[in-house]
Each structure stands twice: as structure tokens, then as C-alpha cells.
Chain A
């Protein structure tokens, strides 16, 4: 059974703070690691798809790194804004590119103004 762990489960920060969270996944049979942002009552939004060890991707104030050898990825948000409040999900895609995703439970971020 594939296990994807995310920490922390929830996080409260002040506007302007920078923050980061962790996704741990199996280091074997790795194909891709996905990050999503899910706001309440909206569709999960794809942030990054990462495939190579050492990958770093950036989208505005949000960036992510990937270590496939040790099985972890970090998501960073610089200068958090209230509109960043959402649940951030990571998902592991196993070798073969089946497009089947195994999700963690997510990190719920609340940014207080």
C-alpha cells in the first residue's frame, strides 16, 4: 500500500510570513510528484508536476523542491497572503505513468490578515 504523508496537518500564519510544508512519499517506483491547491467549494488546482530528482519549480510566490532518492518534496510560500488560504495536496504517481494519483491528506493553510 502506497503511503503519502503530509505535514503539518494544518498551519496558521500571519500575512507576510513565509511558510513551507512537507510531503513524504515512497522512494521506489517513482514517476511524478504533483502539488495541488484546493480552496473550499472550488476545484483542486494543479500547481506543479515534478519528475526529476533535484527539480525546483516556481509559480509566483510559490515554489517546490523534489528529492526522489529520500522521498520528500517541500512546498514554499513566500510572503503569504490571505488568498493563499487553502488546503495544499501532494500526490504521488508511481512508475509507468498510469496517471493514477495517491494523495496525502493535505496541509490546511490559513493566512490571517
Chain B
């Protein structure tokens, strides 16, 4: 299994500002994933982050809004840019395990006013 930590655990931000969420894994992993869950909605994949290459974004998500960094095999950041109240969500990072399961961080609860 992998132990994943995220910072911050929660934040309240003003619209128009940006927030960077950090994800730290206790082991080296190739692929890291970023998800969000808007209130009342499903957990939805934003992008896949591989070390040494550009992140791959899912339909409906763009790099300008959600830039991702992946400087090494244990760390990634997701920035939520120019925030609006619609960005209020739980943001989670995850990594793939050996037998196809995924391990998730505890999430970042973001409220945009």
C-alpha cells in the first residue's frame, strides 16, 4: 500500500485567486491522478500526472485552469486557478497500486466565496 498526504486539508478562498494543492507519496510511483468531487457529484478524474512529461487532462479540464507539476516520483501539485464558487470541491490525489487498486490521499476541501 501507499501512504499519501495532501496539503492543505481544507481552505476557504476568494474568487479570482489561485490555490496550489500538494500531494506527497511515501514511495516512488509512475502515475499520479488528480480527482475532484463537487457537491452531490461523482468523484471525477481531472488529469493523470506522469513524472517527466506533461499531464494528460480529461475532457472538460484544461491546463490553464488546473496546471499540474510532477517534479519527481513522490510529489505532485495541482493548482486551481482563477477560482470561482463552482470550483468548491474536494480535491484528491491518488496513485495506482500493484494489483490495480488505487490509493487516495485524504483530500483537500476547498470552498470558494
Using CB atoms and an 8 Å cutoff, list the residues of chain A in contact with chain B: 4, 32, 34, 36, 41-44, 46, 49, 51, 89, 91, 93, 97, 99-106
Q: Is the CB of A105 within 8 A of B101?
A: no
Interface size class of chain B, counting residues whose CB lies under 8 Å from the partner chain? 20 to 34
Q: Which residues of A contact B96 (CB under 8 A)?
A: 99
Q: Which residues of B contact A101 (CB under 8 A)?
A: 43, 45, 102
Provide 21 A-B residue pairs closer than 8 Å at the C-beta atoms, listed in order of the A residue.
A34-B102, A42-B106, A43-B103, A43-B105, A43-B107, A44-B43, A44-B92, A46-B101, A49-B99, A49-B101, A89-B43, A91-B43, A97-B100, A99-B31, A99-B96, A99-B102, A100-B33, A100-B58, A101-B43, A102-B42, A102-B45
**Apart from A43-B106, A46-B97, A49-B100: 19 A-B pairs, beta carbons within 8 A:** A4-B42, A34-B102, A43-B92, A44-B92, A44-B104, A46-B102, A49-B101, A51-B100, A89-B43, A99-B33, A99-B100, A99-B102, A100-B45, A100-B58, A103-B43, A104-B42, A105-B40, A105-B41, A105-B42
CB distance from A102 to the nearest CB of B (A): 8
CB distance from B100 to the nearest CB of A (A): 5
Q: Is the CB of A100 within 8 A of B42?
A: no
Q: Is the CB of B102 within 8 A of A103?
A: no
Q: Does B28 contact A (CB under 8 A)?
A: no
Would you list the 4 A-B pairs with minimal beta carbon distance, nearest first? A46-B101, A103-B43, A44-B104, A103-B42
CB distance from B24 to the nearest CB of A (A): 13
Our count of residue pairs bridging A and B at CB distance below 8 angstroms stands at 53
* Residues of chain B from 89 to 113 with CB closer than 8 A to chain A in the complex: 92, 96-97, 99-107
Q: Does B83 contact A (CB under 8 A)?
A: no
Q: Does B48 contact A (CB under 8 A)?
A: yes
Q: Is the CB of A100 within 8 A of B101?
A: no
CA distance in complex: A93, B96 (Å): 12
CB distance from B2 to the nearest CB of A (A): 10
Q: Which residues of B contact A103 (CB under 8 A)?
A: 42-44
